[in-house]
Amino acid sequence: MQHILDELEKRREQARKGGGDRRIASQHAKGKLTARERIDLLLDEGSFEEFDMFVEHRATEFGMAEQKIPGDGVVTGWGTVNGRVVFVFSKDFTVFGGSLSGAHAKKIVKLYEQAAKVGSPVIGLFDAGGARIQEGVEALAGYADIFLANTLYSGVIPQIAVIMGPCAGGDVYSPAIMDFIFMVKDTSYMYVTGPDVVKTVTNEDVSHEELGGYRVHALKSGVAEGAFENDLEALTQVRRLIDFLPLSNREKPPVRESFDDPDRQEPSLDSLVPANPNKPYDMKELIYKIVDEADFFEISKDWAKNIVCGFARMDGEPIGIVANQPQVLAGVLDIDAARKAARFVRFCDAYNIPIVTLVDVPGFMPGTKQEQGALIKHGAKLLFAYAEATVPKITLITRKAYGGAYDVMSSKHIRGDFNYAWPTAEIAVMGAKGAVEIIFRADLNDPEAIAAREAEYKQRFANPFVAASLGYIDDVIMPHGTRRRIVRALKSLKGKQLSNPWKKHDNIPL
Ligand code: HXC
């Protein structure tokens, strides 16, 4: 009997070694942890249980019959994050560069099916060189099987990708379908085709970093929702994110005991909005001051900064916040802002997370660049996302809500449940100056007349009371009492039931 137990331990030990000491040392020398070290940091201590540790590839060509490493380049299994069950796969770069074989793919698909059955998130840690070149179509088939699982379980279980090394070729599309992508600064990069292919096709000389490093994806393309300094910080932050999310679409978001007074008043908010309507202020100050313990997990912090999205709690209940940021481009809605917020709103709606929208928006961004870039379709994404969302929706207009952007930003008309405004709100088709220059074009040569018209327009529309008199604003509230009012609104909406007409699926303007 003992020798059988010894054999098991020996095999386990061999599997845990992955590609061996030399490759592990090389992984560490690059500032990267191994697949198993990462899992240990992500999960609660001692909670990881591995599946398929002894799976091997079945390829025979190019000398592969003689090269078999148990686990075949991906570590899969489940464990807990603060006591809640999650499923994990972690690519092992020390084994054939983490590349994907048919057997490797089957392990991931099996994990997905189990996670979906149980109703638990999947977290994927990526560090791999794409399709296993020696396997050919088996690897391509394996990718497609994973993409199918990613797609079928999108909106069923949260899926989080962390890019912790190379992520090339077939590997990029799985994260792209998942809900959030985080990168590790300086050690990770993502691209469809690498620098060599780029050189051949376009004759461009470009490094891995320039082509797909975090500066490209977390700052410019928006492909990644964030970037962290190192493996440890990335994994710690994913743990923090998981705490805000329900484990599946079958659950309500996790309520945590709050030690922050739900009635807490914030007198400083009464002077947050500057007297001059063209002066910026920091919308994040409002967020930090109204949420529990100033705890805000921001999504895409460094991309499309004119809109702020992220998770927080109000009296212990998770919420998603979408807020125009007057400090960046005056908070205007442009293509990137619309894409960022639309995806976030849809995530919240899929997972029963109430949405709090903070509005200070001068409209949509004008210009040829935006129009040629399909602002119409991209802007419509955000409109569509808000309109179809059935979770509790609370809106607060702090200052400007102009034009189409007023409609889009969770207005009453697209089923906002509680629509509040501060006394400083201005709800109009456009700013007074622009409005007067159009409707009183004949007076343009008479500065006095124009000034009088402008004052008249401001008096009529630069306040929340016209909208409130029509019932489009439910109440005009004092800034210092904002936290209390939103907490109360969320409580009253707990039993909200609303569904959309039956359909196979919608046709969001992609
Ligand atoms: C098999 C691979 C591999 C791959 C790396 N390795 N990529 N083995 N298939 N795709 C192996 C190497 O042979 C090496 O083995 C080990 O992994 C480490 O690789 P290095 O090149 O030494 O590492 P590094 O210098 O850090 O470079 C990493 C890399 C590079 C940039 C990822 O390995 C690379 O360019 N790989 C190929 C990337 C690629 O073109 N993949 C195919 C994409 S096409 P040893 O034994 O020496 O440790 C694709 C199509 C799918 O994915 C489309 C589906 C939609």
pLDDT in tens, 73-95: 999 999 999 999 999 999 999 99
39 close to 115: Cβ distance less than 8 angstroms: no
Do 310 and 449 reside in the same domain of the chain? no
Mean pLDDT over 437-457 rounds to 88
Distance CA 467, CA 492 (A): 23
The reply to whether ligand 1 has any atom less than 6 angstroms from the CB of 431 is no
Centroid of ligand 1 to alpha carbon of 229 (angstroms): 24
Last residue of a domain, one of 226, 242, 258: 242
Mean pLDDT over 295-312 rounds to 98
Residue 110 is assigned to a structural domain of this protein: yes
The reply to whether ligand 1 has any atom less than 6 angstroms from the CB of 246 is no
Task: For residue 356, list its beta bridge partners.
Answer: 321, 394
- pLDDT for 460 equals 83
Residue 255 is assigned to a structural domain of this protein: no
Residue 497 is assigned to a structural domain of this protein: no
The reply to whether ligand 1 has any atom less than 6 angstroms from the CB of 409 is no
Confidence label for 252 from pLDDT (cuts 50, 70 and 90): very high
The reply to whether ligand 1 has any atom less than 6 angstroms from the CB of 165 is no
Centroid of ligand 1 to alpha carbon of 208 (angstroms): 13
Which range marks the domain in which residue 32 is found? 2-242
pLDDT in tens, 161-203: 999 999 998 899 999 999 999 999 989 999 999 999 999 999 9
Residue 184 is assigned to a structural domain of this protein: yes
Rounded to the nearest 10 degrees, the angle between the axes of helix 447-461 and helix 432-439 is 120
The reply to whether ligand 1 has any atom less than 6 angstroms from the CB of 166 is yes
Do 175 and 289 reside in the same domain of the chain? no
* Average pLDDT taken over every residue of the chain: 95
Residue 505 is assigned to a structural domain of this protein: no
Mean pLDDT over 312-316 rounds to 98
Residue 498 is assigned to a structural domain of this protein: no
% of the chain residues with pLDDT over 90: 85
Which of ligand 1's atoms lies nearest the C-alpha of 196? 35
Distance CA 108, CA 133 (A): 19
Distances (CA, A) of 374 to 166, 287, 300, 368, 386: 31, 31, 21, 10, 19
- pLDDT for 65 equals 79
CATH code, domain carrying 329: 3.90.226.10
Centroid of ligand 1 to alpha carbon of 96 (angstroms): 7
Centroid of ligand 1 to alpha carbon of 135 (angstroms): 13
- pLDDT for 510 equals 95
**Catalytic site residues?**
169-170, 404-405
pLDDT in tens, 96-149: 999 999 999 999 999 999 999 999 999 999 999 999 989 989 999 999 999 999
- pLDDT for 183 equals 98
Smallest CA separation from ligand 1 atom 13, residue = 96
The reply to whether ligand 1 has any atom less than 6 angstroms from the CB of 148 is no
Total tally of structural domains belonging to the chain: 3
Centroid of ligand 1 to alpha carbon of 167 (angstroms): 10
Enumerate long-range contacts of 187-196, CB under 8 Å, 24 or more apart: 187/30, 187/31, 187/32, 187/230, 187/231, 188/126, 188/127, 188/163, 188/164, 188/213, 188/214, 189/163, 189/213, 190/163, 190/217, 190/223, 190/224, 191/167, 192/168, 193/169, 194/168, 194/169
- pLDDT for 201 equals 93
Does residue 463 have a pLDDT over 80?
A: yes
Do 61 and 95 reside in the same domain of the chain? yes
